[in-house]
Amino acid sequence: MIQAFYTGVSGISAHQTAIDVTSDNIANIDTIGFRSYTPEFSSLFSKAISTHNPLSSSTSSIGIGSSINATSMNLQQGAMVQTDRTTDLAIQGEGWFGVTDSQNIYYTRAGDFGFDVNRDLVNSNGLYVLGTLGKNIDYSTNTLTQQLDEIALGDVEKQQKIQLPETLTYPTKPTTNISFFGNLGVEDETRIISAEAIDKNGIKNKVKLTFTKAPKQPDTGLLWNIKATVSSPDETVLYSTKDAQVIFDEAGGLINTTLTSIDNNATPVTIDLGKKFTGITAIATDATTGFSQADGALTGELTGYDINANGEVIAAFTNGEQSSVAQIALYHFQNDQGLQNIGGVLFKETSNSGKPIFYQDAQGNNILGSSILRGMLESSNLPMETALTELIIYQRAYDANAKSITTADQMIQKALQMDA
């Protein structure tokens, strides 16, 4: 009977802890990035019961109560909540965002990020979000120094806080190559194909190729003369001119040309007329209106930042260009259960969790290992119906253990009365 007291008390204590854990889960049902916990019960030591039959094939024992062995973290995906902020991020899959106070690094699933007064990307507690910088921004002039299609995720220990200026200029990128296309036909008629070429001053100058059939033709194929000019947009200023020729075979495919480049107001531009039938042709059909393709870009101003599913921060500009400027990091651990919750939705590494790592692809490049959703937040990963059901179960178990104490007390009282 005395043992019944101890058993009941241990059961009450264990289930009181379970109720506390579940109550905390319910209290944080609307907390962004919250990881719920599940209490794990274990039996206390058992006591062997002596038997009068030494030949018995079984042994008998009686438990002496229960206890909470651990509270394990629920690693399931939480529901996604859509927001109207482009800096809100959610992780679809495994992984943790890294944030820092400049001294310690913490890990979280809460992606409610924004910019502070210094244009650093921070979470709601003012901790800096970690990632790899593209190092292609001159912060003294807020100018993009290099256009990057993507940024490779750096080493785990080399992640930095992400700073993105509110204004950013895409500098003029002069035209360096122009490709021309079109069919000149075989008739003796002047053909003109024009293009725009951006010079070092950010001005779109006019490049004009005038094709005229040469008076003296080769025995086979066709020979056309070219007069190439570069002038101001209104053609009032002539920057350069060049005379050249282009030779076609009997089928009209381009064999050779002497026009390979031209000067665009002190900027050399490569001229590509193609080969065979890939650019300029002289096929015995109706002549077509020619066209051109040129590289280069005018000066552009920042229209905003976007974040793709690979966690890359993309800067978009008014000139239609864009460039990657940063890569948000996602950390992984050998044992997520070993992370230490320091309060709320922040965690720290421990010897049990192991050091943070980055996943790698087959080529050994660091990768996120999960997708990042922009304009979304991950809510608590415990459904309300599950939490309430567990709370009822623990409460009933608590009541049952309390009843066992009451029953043991009644039995002791009766035993004392019998002794009397």
SS3 of residue 229 by DSSP: strand
Question: b or e along 183-212 (b: 16 or more beta carbons within 10 Å of the residue's beta carbon)?
Answer: bbbeeeeebebebebbbeeebbbbbebebe
- For 83, half-sphere exposure in the C-beta direction (CA atoms, 13 angstrom radius) is 20
CA distance 103 to 98: 13
Half-sphere exposure of 187 (CA within 13 A, CB side): 8
Which residue in this structure is represented by tokens 């990963």? 381
pLDDT at residue 51, as a whole number: 58
pLDDT of the residue at 90: 96
Give me the count of residues in the chain.
Answer: 420
Residue type, 41: F
What secondary structure does DSSP assign to 35-99, as a single string?
A: PPEEEEEEE--EEEEP-S-TT-SS-EEEE--EEEEEEEEP-SPPPEEE-S-TTBEEEESS-EEEE
Q: At what angle do helices 384-419 and 2-27 cross, to 10 degrees?
A: 160
Residue ranges of domains in the chain: 2-75+381-419, 83-170+301-378, 177-294
| Assigned fold of 177-294 | Tick-borne Encephalitis virus Glycoprotein; domain 1 (2.60.98)
Q: Looking at residue 46, what is its pLDDT?
A: 62
Backbone angles phi, psi at 75, to 5 degrees: -100, 10
Which portions of the chain are predicted below pLDDT 70?
1-2, 45-61, 63, 419-420
58: region left, alpha or beta (phi > 0 left; psi from -120 to 50 alpha): beta
Joined tokens for residue 383: 């459904």
pLDDT tens-digit profile of 214-231? 999 998 999 999 999 999
Strand partners for 376: 82
pLDDT of residue 52: 58
